Amino acid sequence: MVNLLHLLNLRHRHVRRARRRPVPIPTGLPATDAVFLLLRRMRMPFIVLITTFSIATLGMTLVPGKDVNGNTYHLTPFDAFYQMTMTVTTVGFTEAPHAFSYPQRMWMTASIFMLVVSWAYAIAVIFSMMQDTAFQEALATQRFRRKVRNMREPFMLVVGYGAAGQAVGHELDKRRRRFVVVEESRSRVETVWTDELTADVPALESDGKVPAALGLAGLGHPQCEAVLALTDDDEANLAITMSVSLLRPDLPVIARCVDHTVQSRIEDFGPTALINPDDRYGGYLALSLHQPVTDQLVQWLMDNDEHELPELREGLALGRWVVAGDCEFGDEVTRDLRGAGLSVDHVDASRMPESFDDVAGFVAASTNDLTNIALAERVRLTNPDTYLCVRQRTNSYAALCHAMDIDSIYISTELVAREVLARVLTPVFWQFIEELLQQDERFAVGLRDRLVDKCGKRAPERDLFRLDPEHAPAVSAWLERGHELRLGDLLRHPDDRNEMLALVPLMVLRDDEHFLAPDDDLLVQAGDQVLLAGTGRGLMDLYDALFYSATLEYIATGNQVPSTWVWRVLRSRRS
């Protein structure tokens, strides 16, 4: 019997926690403060302006004037300062305390020109500084620091905003989950600002390998709930995992990695999950061959785009397979398929067999996307019934693959994003997936048919409900009074208990035990965690029973109970 969990390699090597010493998390990037830059750049304009103002004021006190009686006088220092203040700020002009003499007006004219030139110089320096890259970066860093510091709800720290990071970010935003982005590429940071995201997402252009960048992005923030290392650089993901493990060992971290040497180093720091997409794809492919319905159910439940139930293809494990592509990914797939007991020929992409008549499946695994599409087309022309798997390093040619109706398209970033979302969007959902993979095909068939009957073929939504006083006060009060409540009764419609909600329980967690796909007769207990899948409407309707005692009593017993105090009093008097 093939061990599919071993082929999928879902559980990485666990290591014993090493000793840690609590240290402050650095938050200071080697960037200059914006105020300091402003003062440094404006130092000379300020000196010029103050010097000009002082000369103009001094000259005004020295130039003689005439009062109304024709007596000679000199402005006091305060009068001269007052006169120049009005002039330099251009708030108005007057001649005080007496009308100026011609020498005074000549000096005033000269002063106006000197001050205007000084102001023009200062304004020019300000405009020049606004275009300065260092000043703009300093302003952006300050703005980013303020946004992160003011976050009052849980958020995830997404390091790397490539294709995988964007897919994860969009889905988090769609689910109203907050996140912060750290990305080294400026063009990708600008993508955060131009994407149609509902929330204002703080984004920092910095190297995620630097611990101070993670600290600035909220690694030490009390609301930071997880770190996702999704850069396309394995060494960077290793550095991120190191920082989280050493500076915030209480935080979960999920890392992406392709290189096996680096993967082993990441495992030494005990990440919550480590996703090697190249290694994972062969395992999923082997799963689809040996347990096609289980694979169909897993792909369907992990689909966040609400697609239809994927088509089932059976009987592919009986024939010969060909893997084309002399690369590490080709080696991985070949090893996984052979480990699953299949007959596999691993060939170079430039030396394809002449005939594919007896080939059940073909994997185009070279490092060139266009070559892989061309190889798939050649195989299809030779044998239209061959199951085609095509590797794509990016999704640039995804439309071409869909137009060819490729059976399985492998894009590593999509696989990473799908698995990351399955782990972070709904708690315990990934635990359910791992339990599901250990069941036989008959269990998957039963659960799939049950879901289709209740919810239809569109990919179901999922949510976790905790039956505690905070998240389900009506249920907790009902159980505390000694009543029993069956899981099937909890899933009745709040308006008509004869109608069932479009929901299917995937798993119930109770202390150290769990119930996989429990039936309706299971008696729930206070503190249970119920993982449900179904329609969005069904999940919303369930909240009525969780929060309103009258609704819960109706669906549990069928008794119509007044929902307000007035009606309850009137009813008690009538009875």
Pairing of strands 503-510, 529-534: antiparallel
Give me the pLDDT at residue 529, please: 95
CATH class for the region spanning 34-133:
mainly alpha
Return the domain boundaries, the chain.
Answer: 34-133, 153-275, 279-411, 460-573
Give me the pLDDT at residue 98, please: 83
Q: Please say if the pLDDT value at position 199 is more than 70.
A: yes
- In whole angstroms, what is the distance from residue 573 CA to residue 575 CA? 5
Tokens 């503190």 locate to: 527
Model confidence over 397-422: pLDDT tens digits?
989 998 999 999 999 999 999 999 99
DSSP annotation of 397 reads T
**553 CB contacts (<8 Å, ≥6 apart)?**
478, 559, 561
Residue with more model confidence, 93 or 375: 375
Tokens 């720091």 locate to: 269
Query: Is 191 within 8 Å of 260 (Cβ atoms)?
Result: no
Q: Please say if the pLDDT value at position 59 is more than 80.
A: yes
- In whole angstroms, what is the distance from residue 411 CA to residue 414 CA? 5
Query: CA 426 → CA 69, 286, 431, distances in Å?
Result: 91, 26, 10
Supply the DSSP string of 217-254, one letter for each residue: TTTT-TTEEEEEE--S-HHHHHHHHHHHHHH-TTS-EE
Among 17-26, 71-80, 237-246, 301-310, the range with the most confident prediction by mean pLDDT is 237-246
Kindly state the average pLDDT of the residues 122-132: 88
Give me the pLDDT at residue 90, please: 64
Q: Please say if the pLDDT value at position 270 is more than 70.
A: yes
Q: Please say if the pLDDT value at position 170 is more than 90.
A: yes
Asked, colleague to colleague, whether 153-275 and 279-411 share their fold, the answer is yes
Query: Is 202 within 8 Å of 213 (Cβ atoms)?
Result: no
Model confidence over 229-242: pLDDT tens digits?
999 999 999 999 99
Residue with more model confidence, 91 or 153: 153
Q: Please say if the pLDDT value at position 31 is more than 60.
A: no
- Exposed e or buried b per residue across 226-262, where buried means at least 16 C-beta atoms within 10 angstroms of its C-beta: bbbbbbbbbebbbbbbbbbbebbeebbbbbbbbbeeb
Q: Please say if the pLDDT value at position 2 is more than 60.
A: no
**555 CB contacts (<8 Å, ≥6 apart)?**
489, 490, 492, 493, 494, 497, 545
Model confidence over 142-162: pLDDT tens digits?
889 899 999 999 999 999 999
Q: Which of 359, 365, 304 is nearest to 331 (CA)?
A: 365
- Six token digits for residue 163: 């294709």
User: CATH 3.40.50.720: does it fit domain 153-275?
Assistant: yes
Query: CA 154 → CA 121, 196, 200, 406, 472, distances in Å?
Result: 48, 21, 14, 40, 21
- In whole angstroms, what is the distance from residue 247 CA to residue 244 CA? 5
Pairing of strands 513-516, 503-510: antiparallel
Give me the pLDDT at residue 13, please: 59
Q: What percent of the chain has pLDDT over 90?
A: 55
Q: Which of 273, 210, 283, 280 is nearest to 240 (CA)?
A: 210
- Name the band, by pLDDT with cuts 50, 70 and 90, for residue 179: very high
Model confidence over 419-452: pLDDT tens digits?
999 999 887 899 999 899 889 999 999 999 999 9
Query: Is 527 within 8 Å of 469 (Cβ atoms)?
Result: no
Tokens 């449900």 locate to: 532
- Six token digits for residue 17: 């926690």
Give me the pLDDT at residue 93, please: 66
Kindly state the average pLDDT of the residues 74-87: 88
- In whole angstroms, what is the distance from residue 319 CA to residue 561 CA? 63
DSSP annotation of 49 reads H
Mean pLDDT, the chain, rounded, equals: 88
Give me the pLDDT at residue 571, please: 66
Give me the pLDDT at residue 443, please: 94
Per the CATH hierarchy, to which homologous superfamily does domain 279-411 belong? NAD(P)-binding Rossmann-like Domain (3.40.50.720)
CATH class for the region spanning 460-573:
alpha beta
92: Cα within 13 Å, side-chain hemisphere: 4
